[in-house]
Amino acid sequence: MALLELGVAARFCRPANLPDRASPCNPRLGNEPAGATKRTQLSTTKLTRRVTIPELAARKGGQPIVVLTAYTAPIARLLDPHVDALLIGDSVGMVLHGMDDTLGVTLDMMVLHTQAVKRGSTRAAIIADLPFGTYQSSPQQAFDASAKLLAAGAQAVKLEGGRTMAATISFLVERGIPVMGHIGLTPQSLHTMGGFRVQGRDEAAAEKIIDDARAITEAGAFSVVIEGVMEPLARRITETIAIPTIGIGASADCDGQVLVTDDILGLTGDATPRFVQRYADLAATIDEAARKFADDVRARRFPGKAHIFFPKAAQ
């Protein structure tokens, strides 16, 4: 079993056409001596196996939980060594498919992106968003949609809503589907909020969000995303409920943080929310690469000798 898992990890980590770099999946894998003992193999397997949902739940009040979104296999492969969980967010509709909001994202899209992220990762936990219209009408509807995401490789689903969704959350959890909640700024409720607006500004609105957090916890969710709320509210919820809170535009005191990967990489331009910290400027990198390629083609500098094929006699 241990060896089988290692074999699978190695296959996903090192595509045959790439050099054997130290890090793609787990930096520790690259440091193993060739003749590793059985004990070393077992401990390495332990380091490279996937993070479980109960392990994430147990991180309440402990080391911060790191979550980033991923929608594709190559990005999942790059993020996998660094994060505790990869979220296949319904933000994929806006970030990759050019939609104005998340309402048009379908379950089929989420299944395809979940499969891709699963294939590209070996150790991060995999959590997938239930898209709009696939879980709100009944617990049964939510179960059917969640089952498809779990079959696609997710270990848990995330759904938006507070007390209103509590019965659905307990229905799923009782049937073996771990659920992450999502409260505060819930993008699928864009039209009732009147836009992507920060929530819980007045005391009454804050009390309602605290009640939502309590209801989700009692329903059995293993964790909850708190998005776009006033900092003291996010801190108070984190202190109040027994499950880890994952903040986005919330509080540094949350039990973890999540951001949209394309936002931190500088790929989302004007659409980037204020709560994002940018860690790279890939838009500029891509702009420069495309410009250089276009220049080379127009000047007939590309393709060069190394990129084209000649018959033997002509060499």
Ligand X SMILES: CC(C)C(=O)C(=O)O
Ligand Y SMILES: Nc1nc(=O)c2c([nH]1)NC[C@@H]1CN(c3ccc(C(=O)N[C@@H](CCC(=O)O)C(=O)O)cc3)CN21
Q: How far apart are CA 199 and CA 98, in angstroms?
A: 25
Applying CB under 6 A, among 102, 121, 146, 155 the residue interacting with ligand Y is 102
Nearer to ligand X among residue 51 and residue 260 (C-beta): 260
One-letter amino acid for residue 131 of the chain: P
80 is a site residue for ligand X (CB under 6 A): no
Q: How far apart are CA 40 and CA 34, in angstroms?
A: 11
DSSP state of 161: B
DSSP state of 51: P
What are the tokens at 25? 């999946």
> Closest distance between ligand Y and the C-beta of residue 203, in Å?
18
Query: Do the bridges between strand 125-129 and strand 245-248 make them parallel or antiparallel, or are there none, so unpaired?
Result: unpaired
| Total number of residues that touch ligand Y (CB under 6 A) | 17
DSSP bridge pairs for 85: 67, 125
Nearer to ligand X among residue 179 and residue 260 (C-beta): 260
133 Cβ contact list (under 8 Å, min separation 6): 103
Residue reference for tokens 């004007």: 270
Q: How far apart are CA 127 and CA 85, in angstroms?
A: 7
> Closest distance between ligand Y and the C-beta of residue 94, in Å?
4
- Under rule CB under 6 A, which residues in 178-207 are in contact with ligand X? 182
264 is a site residue for ligand X (CB under 6 A): no
CB under 5 to 8 A by kind: which of ligand X, ligand Y, Mg ion, none does 258 bind?
ligand X
- Under rule CB under 6 A, which residues in 123-182 are in contact with ligand Y? none
Applying CB under 6 A, among 24, 81, 89, 178 the residue interacting with ligand X is 89
Q: How far apart are CA 128 and CA 182, in angstroms?
A: 12
Overall size of the chain counted in residues: 315
CB under 5 to 8 A by kind: which of Mg ion, ligand X, ligand Y, none does 198 bind?
ligand Y
Three-state DSSP string of 81-147 = CCCCEEEECCCHHHHCCCCCCCCCCCHHHHHHHHHHHHHCCCCCEEEEECCCCCCCCCHHHHHHHHH
Q: Which residue is nearest to ligand X (CB)?
A: 89
Applying CB under 6 A, among 11, 46, 197, 291 the residue interacting with ligand Y is 197
225 is a site residue for ligand X (CB under 6 A): yes
218 is in an annotated binding site: no
CB under 5 to 8 A by kind: which of ligand Y, Mg ion, ligand X, none does 268 bind?
ligand Y
Instruction: Assess whether 227 carries a catalytic annotation.
Output: yes
Question: 269 burial class (0-12, 13-18, 19+ CB within 10 angstroms)?
Answer: exposed
Applying CB under 6 A, among 274, 298, 305, 307 the residue interacting with ligand Y is 274
Applying CB under 6 A, among 96, 147, 198, 210 the residue interacting with ligand Y is 198
90 is in an annotated binding site: yes
Q: Which residues are catalytic?
A: 227
Give me the residues that bind ligand Y (CB under 6 A), please.
91, 94-95, 102, 185, 187, 196-198, 228, 260, 262-263, 268, 271, 273-274
Give me the residues that bind ligand X (CB under 6 A), please.
69, 87, 89-91, 129, 182, 225, 227, 248, 258, 260
